[in-house]
Amino acid sequence: MDEKMVKEELMKAGAILEGHFRLSSGLHSSMYVQCALALAHPLLAEHLGEALAQKMGYPQADVVLGPALGGVVIAQELARALNKHHKREVLSYFIERKDVAMELRRGFILHPGQKVILVEDVVTTGKSILESAELVQRAGAEIIGWGSIVNRSGGKFVSTPALVSLLMLQITNYEPETCPLCMQGVEFVKPGSRPEKR
């Protein structure tokens, strides 16, 4: 799947939304990407996972880790694609927020030396995936890749190795004080899953 095909599939699934949105970062935007609407289609989710695995070069990972909620399904599908390619088990874990901090729960354990890929549905500021990276590093595991379906950071998110995304979207974000939609009196909605920044 090339970028054009990915964008077409997301639009067909209604995953690229227009309006006035307050993002989890506290920023405002006239466009929002709700990948859950695309990932609700199992065959499309599988194709996106396979496309991401291929674009990443089928890395030799032990675990694919995604922050909940956005990274859960794509982590599963990326791990599935790597399982099929390497013909060995690659685990799919997710990290979730308890109070304000992200934690590995439900019996998920990372071990020193494990090779981990971090994956997210959409990267804007990268806050959730960076918090996930801190947990991986504290466990002594090694981050060998970063992936996402959509990168809408405008080049501001930087990682090592570099983030691999299926689709780059240039979407302008605004501080609430300078948001033109707020100035026009357009009410915003907050579609994200992370508690918003105060």
Contact 130, 153 (CB under 8 A): no
Share of the chain above pLDDT 90, in %: 82
Q: What is the dihedral of CA 108, 111, 113, 115, to 10 degrees?
A: -10
Supply the pLDDT for residue 198: 41
Is 197 within a domain?
A: no
pLDDT digits (tens, 9 = 90+) for 131-166: 999 999 999 999 999 999 999 998 889 999 999 999
> How large is the average pLDDT for residues 12-35?
91
Is 191 within a domain?
A: no
pTM over 0.85: yes
The pair of three-digit structure tokens given for residue 44, joined into one six-digit string: 């499309």
Supply the pLDDT for residue 145: 97
Contact 170, 7 (CB under 8 A): no
Q: How many domains is the chain partitioned into structurally? A: 1
Is 112 within a domain?
A: yes
CATH number of the domain bearing residue 129: 3.40.50.2020
Residue 165's domain comprises 3-183
